Chain A
Amino acid sequence: MHLDDLAELAARHRAEETHEQEIRVCVAASCQSSGSLPVLEALKEACATQGNGRCKVKGVGCMGLCSAGPLVAVAERDAELNSSLLYRNVTPVDAPEILASLQGPPVERLRCPTDQPFFQQQVRIVLERSGLIDPESLPEAIVHGGYSALIQTITEMTPAEVIREVTASGLRGRGGAGYPTGLKWSTVAKMPSAQKYVICNADEGDPGAFMDRAVLESDPHRVLEGMAIAAYAIGASKGYIYVRAEYPLAVARLETAIRAARRAGFLGARVADTPFAFDIDLRLGAGAFVCGEETALMASIEGLRGQPRPRPPYPAESGLWGCPTLINNVETFANIAPIIRKGGAWFAQIGTEGSKGTKVFALAGRIKNTGLIEVPMGITLRAIIEEISGGIPDGKRFKAVQTGGPSGGCIPEQYLDTPVDYDSLKTLGTIMGSGGMIVIDETASMVDVARFFMEFCMSESCGKCIPCRTGTWQMHALLEKIARGAGTDEDLALLEELCEVVRAMSLCGLGQTAPNPVLSTLRYFRHEYEAKLRA
């Protein structure tokens, strides 16, 4: 199969459908929880009776503004989200009215303006097809450019050229640590081994993060495509997606997508009729935060307890079953197809010097607009919190924003003008992480927040190494004591000392970063700890 054949396929799919207008209903997890499936059914029914045959009702992926769900967009065929008419908090009862409005004025009482900063400040690369296509339809993905980058790589490019393009893009791993993707790929590509693996880390364990979930539920094919391109570049024939069992909808949509991609020949023994062979299997996680750590994740795929092992050797050298293995996060793979289609140089123009491209963030906590956004790297925290997320509701004051999950830290108000990129966040004592952002207002006690994260790390510690296993337990006990108002100066000093020990001595990322929430709250909110100490 060549690019021409794919274009022909897309044209054929397009010709089969004659509708001019689309009514798109979000069927990602968040809107489903707000009741979008009955809305979809009601709209389909209304369309069958009231429609004139030029309109199609379909389920699509996440449109971002989860707090206003269920979201319904009325748009010209192929029109982007920003140029469509968006309705919020739609109920099944509203269906006839929405259908009737297709020829007339919009239903004002349901309008959700798309000219607000939430929509206008976004740059959608990873989410380019999210909210636009039916996630369960391979033809829709193909019509909107799906698999063209894969065909292009395997028919026109050498593996070295693919890696050169990814390196030129400056893409860094979106799972949290920000390791340069091109460098990782070239390291695995250099390994002289007949058997190599590609793993997609979809074990989104950070509480407060749901970017990967949304990508998998909204556009699973772009993850499969990214993995196949990676496999071609490094010389792998087998891939695994390690996905959380807590995300049943993402699992179901991935299964559908993998089956469809196999049938269409985008996965399997001869990908797109070329000698390149690559297939993907799903592996379900079973609820263990530590399995997001790459060596623990591989142990879990092998059917063992998800406990990490010391590195080196790194997975690039000796990974799954001792073979060279490339592990990237969902969002990293989701960036690959656009980079191949438009070139690494195009991607490198977006973002900042050290952090290229865009980043998907999950906004949650005490803000008006919660949901999913994709913004260029380098945007300020203030723009995200005050403009995009609409600020703090109920007249409360902003206190801190927590980034990077339990491995991250809290940023206070005086640093809100910091640009969001890997290095700036690091200097503030936190991390980008996978992209969860939780806004905390003045009503929260930072000691309680620190205790919450320590409780999390304590119970998620796999128990293999002592600094993490007992260190987090002791730190939690101290925080408990301080939060209760029974702590002393010595307790606080001991807590700080323990932070250092656990950080320096733990085996894997979980333990090494477990003290971060304590260290960062101590750094910016020390007075809250001191106020709680017994005089």
Chain B
Amino acid sequence: MTLPPIRPPLPNDDPRWKLVNATMRRNGYAGHALIETLHSVQDAFGYLDETALRFVAASLDMPLSKVYGVATFYHIFTLKPPGRHTCVVCTGTACYIKGATGLLEGILAHFALRPGETNEDGALSLLTARCVGACGLAPAVVLDGEVLGKQTPENLLAKLEGLVHAS
């Protein structure tokens, strides 16, 4: 007879862990729900930290190395806390042809940020996406979840400047 696995206690009393638990329960704590679970952790907390990875590994009864392997394989998952605002510059072909490189260079020159970095006071994170599928509006940027088309370095920097100062 096999004993049912023991589910680990929630890491702390943060209510967001209940959302993560609900995702795992809905999928019967099956290993194939790992990516769904990591999505729900990142939706809830903004990133995946060690506590979360250990909790998910123990709950789904799989080695931490496997959870870490999956979390680092996919581009969407991040192990670093994001800034208060996130700017995702699309680097798809259409955006490249229409000047995405200029947008990135502008942000580097103005905020000293490279893709994957967050500035010192945690106000702004810069990310890149492979293609957000808004090629008709290239070059496109996703600013705090909102897609902005036909960007130029000038108007993007002005917008970012406004956000960073307001926060």
The CA-CA distance from A452 to B130 in the complex, in Å, is 12
A209–chain B nearest beta-carbon distance, Å: 7
The CA-CA distance from A288 to B76 in the complex, in Å, is 8
17 inter-chain pairs at a CB distance below 8 angstroms, sorted by A residue, are: A32-B147, A66-B136, A67-B136, A207-B93, A208-B93, A208-B94, A208-B131, A210-B136, A283-B35, A286-B35, A286-B77, A301-B32, A302-B31, A304-B34, A438-B97, A440-B97, A456-B130
Do B133 and A204 touch across chains, with their CB atoms under 8 A apart?
Answer: yes
Do B32 and A207 touch across chains, with their CB atoms under 8 A apart?
Answer: no
Do A283 and B36 touch across chains, with their CB atoms under 8 A apart?
Answer: yes
Q: Find B97's partner among A210, A213, A304, A366 (CB 8 Å cutoff).
A: A366
Do B94 and A438 touch across chains, with their CB atoms under 8 A apart?
Answer: yes
Q: Which residues of B contact A (CB under 8 A)?
A: 30-36, 38-39, 69-70, 73-77, 91-94, 96-98, 129-138, 140, 145-149
B60–chain A nearest beta-carbon distance, Å: 9
A431 at the interface (CB under 8 A from B): no
Closest chain A residue to B97, Cβ basis: A365
Closest chain B residue to A245, Cβ basis: B76
Do B74 and A306 touch across chains, with their CB atoms under 8 A apart?
Answer: yes
Chain B residues with CB under 8 A of A440: 97
Q: Which residues of A contact B (CB under 8 A)?
A: 29-30, 32-34, 66-67, 69, 204-210, 213, 245-248, 283-289, 300-306, 362-366, 370-372, 402, 405, 436, 438, 440, 444, 452-453, 456, 460, 462
Chain A residues with CB under 8 A of B134: 29-30, 33, 210
Of the listed residues B31, B33, B76, the one surrounded by the most CB atoms of chain A closer than 10 A to its CB is: B76
Chain A residues with CB under 8 A of B138: 364-365, 370
Closest chain A residue to B149, Cβ basis: A33
A246–chain B nearest beta-carbon distance, Å: 6
Do B147 and A287 touch across chains, with their CB atoms under 8 A apart?
Answer: no
Closest chain B residue to A304, Cβ basis: B70
Do B33 and A33 touch across chains, with their CB atoms under 8 A apart?
Answer: no
Known A-B contacts: A29-B133, A366-B97. Give 7 more (CB < 8 A).
A33-B134, A33-B137, A209-B131, A287-B74, A303-B33, A304-B34, A305-B73
Do A288 and B74 touch across chains, with their CB atoms under 8 A apart?
Answer: yes
Do B39 and A205 touch across chains, with their CB atoms under 8 A apart?
Answer: no
Chain A residues with CB under 8 A of B31: 302-303
B78–chain A nearest beta-carbon distance, Å: 10
Do A213 and B133 touch across chains, with their CB atoms under 8 A apart?
Answer: yes
Closest chain B residue to A250, Cβ basis: B133
Do B32 and A370 touch across chains, with their CB atoms under 8 A apart?
Answer: no
